[in-house]
Chain A
Amino acid sequence: MLRTKNTIIIGIWLICCVALTIFYATAYPSHLLWQEQNQIFLNTSHWVGTYFDKPAWLGCLAGEWLTQFYSLPIAGAAILTIAIAFCVALFAKATLRFLPKAAAWSVTALFAILLFGCSLSSSTNLAFFLCIAGGLSLAFAEMYIIINKTRKIDLSPVIVPLAYWTFGFGALITALFICLFTFKRCATDHSKRYWWLTAGVALVFAAGFPALLCTSYALPYAKALLYPGLATPTIPQTKFEERLAIADSFYERDYALTKRLAMKAKEPDDITAFYYYLSTALQDSLPDCLLKYPVKNLGTLTTIGETTPLMVINMMNDLYYELGDMTYAERAAMMRNVFSPRNRNARMIRRLAEINLVSGDTLAALKYLRILDRTHAYVDWSKSHTPGMITPAIEADIMRRRAFSNNKDNIRLGDNCRNIILELLESNPGNTVALDYLLCTDLLLKDMDTFKMDYDTYCMSKCNPRYKDLYQQALMIYLAGTDAPEEEWNKYIVSTPLVQLFNRYSNRRGDPSFRGTYWYYFDKQ
């Protein structure tokens, strides 16, 4: 009977684990990749040694070491599932010791739901779960002394500090369970009331040890007590997952997929729009697609600072890198690193290497490549980008980007994207990505005078008119609005069918059948 029950429990357990793994693998892969990218783990003794600078070294070390494998398919889902399952198993085993079965299983179920909820937050890292598991494991060690043994040696003055040193806030869990075990012990055996002393010692040590060490750890007490930090449960962040997936496809340079995912987004917003437009721009079709997406955001009006969301800093990094402005791409990458744990973000370290390769600062590029050399996930990438070993395709990409970079030195005080684009175009008028971003920003702002001026400066005066329907339609608005003579029309407008369409629209201004034209956007949207 007992065996059957256990088999059922194990069966349910396994089914839950498989379901959880499938969930993370299919519904949350980009969240897991975000975790992996938001750190970097170096396989060196020096790096491992740095974990001892703060509490919870074992939880953080094991967590970050395992997180580096999140970039492998399924691995992240499996690791996270195992970590949660381990926590829940320990919790169940512990609660069964002092609660009736039904109550223990109910509490365990709630605990499992809580952990699952925490795992759904993009800011929860694996170390959080490992610190819980570590705290529970050490509580068990003490439990065997309290419940199973009659030894009079109280090990809590050792176990609780050990729990804090290795698992940070896990020590609080250790202390809590020591108290619960003690309660159980005293309730069943009234002659052993001195065990209460154990509970008291555990609590005092759990609260006092961080207070003792917080100065040497250079942390305020509250942070030291809860290191490496607690997590907040949340509901599945499907919207954020969708955005991360779009950003990841862009990172992999699969622009067609980026566009497809952006178009499929249930609630298009600034992020989906941003990546949609950047992908189209890189496929030379930004003017063709500008009015096709429901949300308009080119990122050209966004600035970054201390309170900018991390995703937006990533976006600005992508934008400036693709436009060709290595100065601000580097600035965004540096800032993103600063906002990452231990000042390292794998994606940005990679990007910093790319930026310095493009700007020709080999020494600085090697700095980042040597860091990547010491990782598990990026060693091959690093080798393929190391000067002297660069593949022809990568070399060609670097040279193409270098050709579009700024080559005039000056000092820039703010991140006014218009100025940045103008500088890029001064350096290289053939930078069509920058040109389209400039002209399309003017059009989204409906600033026709600026648009005409920019079009004249970077297209007409360079004898390089850009005959895109969007620009033609916008020029017609300007020409009509300024009563331009026929020769002006002939100079700018080459599409006769568009002129005929414009004439028809002029008689039916605001007619929804013209939705999708710049005229309609100009009048109605």
Chain B
Amino acid sequence: MKYKILTLLITIFLLGCGSTPTDVKKVASLPPIFPDYIDVTIPAGIAPLNFAVVSDKEEVQRIDVTIKGANGDELHANGKYADFNIDKWHKLTEENRGRQLTVSVCAKIAGEWKQYDDFTINVSPYPLDEWGLTYRRIAPGYEVYSKMGIYQRDLGNFNEFSIIENTMTDGQCYNCHTANRTNPNDFVFHVRGQHGATLVSKNGECTWLKAANDTLGGSMVYPYWHPSGRYCAFSTNQTRQGFHISGPKRLEVFDLSSDVLVYDTEKNEILLDSLLNKKAWSENTPSFSPDGKWLYFTTCYQQEYPLKHKEERYNLCRIAFDETTGHFGSQVDTLFNAVDLDKSVTWPRPSYDGKYILFTLSDYGYFSIWHKESDQWLLNTATGEARPAEEINSNDADSFHNWSDNSRWVVFTSRRNDGLYSNLYLTCIDDNGHFSKPFLLPQANPEEYYTQSLYSFNTPDFTKTKVDFNSRAAVEAILSDERIPAQVR
């Protein structure tokens, strides 16, 4: 008898909770979901696009979501937020590759179920073959670093792994983990500060280079690999930062000087060229063309800082590079004249199929993440024409980016969510060079994750496989201060 009463009470309680939609009222609008996954394009096999219905005015008590594939398969989620089963999600996206998923959302708000207009999620026909992403996560503490590190994230689920964290070395700053065309066997990263170094790792063999070289006039800062894996280009930024007194911008980063060099990993030699080391000019943010024959870089006429910081504007240029001799060409071509537009180019990243160069354009300077006006631009290498990638740009900073190995996917940083902390977005490019609506990197509970995070994601890149890195040995090497000086040619 006692159990019967208990069962009855539980049943009444569950019915009272109203977990399934009843007496649903139709609402003629799209659901206010976070993250905004409405009409985005995703690769098959990506982690589930969990989301929440958000309302600033009233509490959203529960949501009920059904996703239907084109072949009639369904996926259902019911709870405080849409939390999809990973395996079923993968199956659904794989089965609907190149087709659309239709998402129906009901939300219980103030005790009343509402059903919003359905929306779609496009499953791209193009695969994203990479295992995941690498990125740095850091609190924007400006001058000091509490907890920061380089991490890797499995794109098929929500698992994140640290590659190295500065809690292991008492507050070092780790900078720009860069792999060679998403291959984690070859990568570099730079350690700033007291135990500064540049790590060049090739097939698991680590070389710790001296962070700064007097001949260079700076450190090896922003890297990019030559497709052969033999060379790696760096800029030597002597970075300073200042604070905007007012206005929407907060920080400004500029270089007292910067040149571009190429490091030969086989000969432990630094290759310099007078065209990349002009005294009155700052050369910056280098990258190689996918055939390895061109070195792209940005260059600006050195200004008087901080007085004329707004006149620091970079053009996108290129110089020929011969990988057999390590020699540079004798002339510099301007690929995109941003100065003529009163703009400045930064972070040129050629697609690996050679069709495009994606870069960031802002009003001035190169540290675009602190520039709300910064946008992504796409240069067609065949025509030489560049256009703003309006389909992926926002009103806030859209900045650093990298391509997937098949040149179909791009990961980039954006501050569109809160204007202050950068997050990662992914987008797909079609045969016509048109990007799909980008989607925020999925998290298990994205609303809680992104609301509570006080960290910025930066320098993201794809990685073919999980990075296998012995962080303990790396920490010992960092703290040992044993460094190899590179020879300058």
Q: Does B associate with A? A: yes
User: Chain A: residues with CB nearer than 8 A to chain B?
Assistant: 42, 44-47, 214-215, 218-220, 223, 305-306, 325-328, 330-331, 334-335, 337-340, 342-344, 359, 361, 363-364, 366-367, 370-371, 374, 386, 388, 405-413, 423, 427
By the criterion CB–CB under 8 Å, are A215 and B141 in contact?
no
Verify B245–A412 contact, CB threshold 8 A. yes
Q: A409 contacts B451, CB within 8 Å?
A: no
Report how far A388 CA is from B418 CA in the complex, Å.
Answer: 17
Interface size on B, residues (CB 8 A): 47
Contact check, A42 vs B452: say whether CB atoms are below 8 A apart. yes
Across the interface, name the chain B residue whose C-beta is closest to A220. Answer: B168
Contact with A along B134-155 (1 / 0, CB 8 A): 0000011111111101000000
B167 touches A218 (CB 8 A): yes
Q: Quick one: given A47-B448, A411-B243, are A306 and B144 in contact (CB under 8 Å)?
A: yes
- A47-B448, A218-B162, A334-B139 known; 12 other A-B pairs, CB under 8 Å? A46-B449, A218-B168, A219-B167, A327-B243, A337-B146, A339-B144, A343-B139, A343-B455, A371-B452, A374-B451, A405-B246, A412-B242
With a 10 A CB-CB cut-off, give which of A386, A409, A410 has the most chain B CB atoms. A410
Pair B471/A46 contact, Cβ less than 8 Å: no
Supposing A219-B167, A334-B141, A364-B419 touch, asked if A413 and B242 sit within 8 A by C-beta, the answer is yes
User: What B residues does A359 contact at CB under 8 A?
Assistant: 246
Partner of A413, one of B144, B240, B449: B240
Measured between alpha carbons, how far is A52 from B303 in the docked complex, in Å? 49
Chain A residues with CB under 8 A of B146: 337-340, 343
Question: A218, A330, A411, A427: which contacts B306 (Cβ < 8 A)?
Answer: A411
**Smallest CB separation, B478 vs chain A (Å):** 11
- Chain B contact residues, CB within 8 Å of chain A: 56, 139-147, 149, 162, 164-165, 167-170, 240, 242-250, 252, 305-306, 309, 418-421, 444-445, 448-449, 451-452, 454-455, 471-472, 475
Q: A412 to B241: give the CA distance in the assembly, Å.
A: 9
Residues of B within 8 A of A339 (CB): 144, 146
The answer to whether A327 and B420 have CB atoms under 8 Å apart is no
Question: Do B246 and A409 touch across chains, with their CB atoms under 8 A apart?
Answer: yes
Would you mind naming 6 contact pairs between A and B with Cβ atoms under 8 Å apart?
A: A338-B139, A367-B451, A371-B451, A406-B246, A411-B305, A411-B309
Q: A219-B168, A328-B243, A364-B418 are in contact. Are A44 and B448 (CB under 8 A)?
A: yes
Contact A335 B141 (CB under 8 A): yes
B contact face: mostly helix, strand, loop, or mixed: loop
User: B250: which A residues are within 8 A, CB to CB?
Assistant: 327, 330
Instruction: Report which of B169, B242, B452 forms a contact with A44, defined as CB distance below 8 A.
Output: B452
Tell me whether B144 and A410 are in contact (CB under 8 A): no
Chain B residues within 8 Å of A305, by CB: 143-144
Known: A338-B144, A343-B146, A413-B240. Contact between A406 and B454, CB under 8 A? no
Query: What separation, in Å, do the CA atoms of A363 and B471 have in the docked complex?
Result: 37
Residues B245 and A327 in contact, CB atoms below 8 Å apart: yes
Chain B residues positioned under 8 Å from A340 (CB to CB)? 146
Contacts A337-B454, A363-B418; is A411 near B149 (CB within 8 Å)?
no
Q: Are B448 and A423 in contact (CB under 8 A)?
A: no
- Nearest CB of chain A from residue B310's CB, rounded to whole Å: 9
Bound form: Cα–Cα A412–B245 in Å: 7
Distance A277 CA – B215 CA, assembled complex (angstroms): 51
Other-chain contact of B246, A42, A306, A327 (Cβ < 8 Å) = A327
| Chain B residues with CB under 8 A of A371 | 451-452, 454
The CA-CA distance from A441 to B56 in the complex, in Å, is 46
Q: Measured between C-beta atoms, what is the minimum distance from A336 to chain B in Å? A: 9
In the bound complex, what is the Cα–Cα distance between A343 and B421 (angstroms)? 14
Smallest CB gap from B307: residue in A: A411
In Å, the complex CA distance between A396 and B140 comes to: 30
- State in angstroms the CA–CA spacing of A367 and B242 once bound together: 24
Across-interface contacts of B56 in A (CB, < 8 A): 386, 388
State the CA gap A359–B444 with chains docked (Å): 33
On whether the beta carbons of A215 and B472 are closer than 8 Å, the reply is: yes
Q: Are A409 and B244 in contact (CB under 8 A)?
A: yes
Q: Which residues of A contact B472 (CB under 8 A)?
A: 214-215
* Given A218-B149, A331-B142, A335-B142, CB of A364 within 8 Å of CB of B448: no
A220 partner residues in chain B, CB cutoff 8 A? 168-170, 475
Of all chain B residues, the one with the shortest Cβ separation from A53 is: B162
Cα–Cα distance between A343 and B56 once the two chains are bound (Å): 26
Cα A223 to Cα B471 with chains together (Å): 16
Residues A413 and B246 in contact, CB atoms below 8 Å apart: no
Complex CA distance for A386 and B57, rounded to whole angstroms? 11
Contact of A47 with B452 in the complex, beta carbons under 8 Å: yes
- Are the CB atoms of B246 and A408 closer together than 8 Å? yes
Q: Is the CB of B145 within 8 A of A338?
A: yes
**B169 nearest CB neighbor, chain A only:** A220
Query: Which residues does chain A contribute within 8 Å of B167, judged by CB atoms?
Result: 218-219, 223
What separation, in Å, do the CA atoms of A405 and B455 have in the docked complex?
A: 27
Nearest to A217 among chain B residues (CB) is B167
By a CB distance below 8 angstroms, the chain A residues around B444 are 46
The residue on A at minimum CB distance from B147 is A343
- Interface-centre pick from A340, A366, A413 (highest chain B CB count, 10 A): A413
User: Which residues of A are found within 8 Å of B248, using beta-carbon distances?
Assistant: 361
Q: For residue B168, which residues in chain A have a CB less than 8 angstroms away from its CB?
A: 218-220
Q: Would you call A334 and B140 a contact (CB within 8 A)?
A: yes
- Give the residues in chain A near B475, CB-CB below 8 Å: 220
A328, A411, A427: the one within 8 Å of B252 (CB):
A411
Q: List, in ascending order, chain A residues with CB within 8 A of B162's CB.
A: 218
- Give the residues in chain A near B247, CB-CB below 8 Å: 409
**Closest beta carbon of chain A to B115's beta carbon, Å:** 26
Chain A residue at minimal CB-CB distance from B139: A343
Residue of B nearest to A214 (CB): B472
Question: Would you give the shortest CB distance from A495 to chain B, in whole angstroms?
Answer: 37
One of B141, B164, B419 near A338 (C-beta < 8 A): B141
Which residue of A is nearest B167, CB measured?
A218
Say how far A427's CB is from chain B's closest CB, in angstroms: 8
Closest to A373 in B: B451
CB neighbours of A45 from chain B (8 A): 445, 448
Contact assessment for A409 and B245 in the assembled complex, using a CB-CB cutoff below 8 Å? yes
Q: Are B419 and A363 in contact (CB under 8 A)?
A: yes
B305 to chain A, nearest CB (A): 8
- B113 to chain A: closest CB distance in Å? 24
Q: A367–B162 Cα gap in the complex (Å)?
A: 26
When distances are taken between beta carbons in the complex, the residues of chain A under 8 Å from B165 are 218
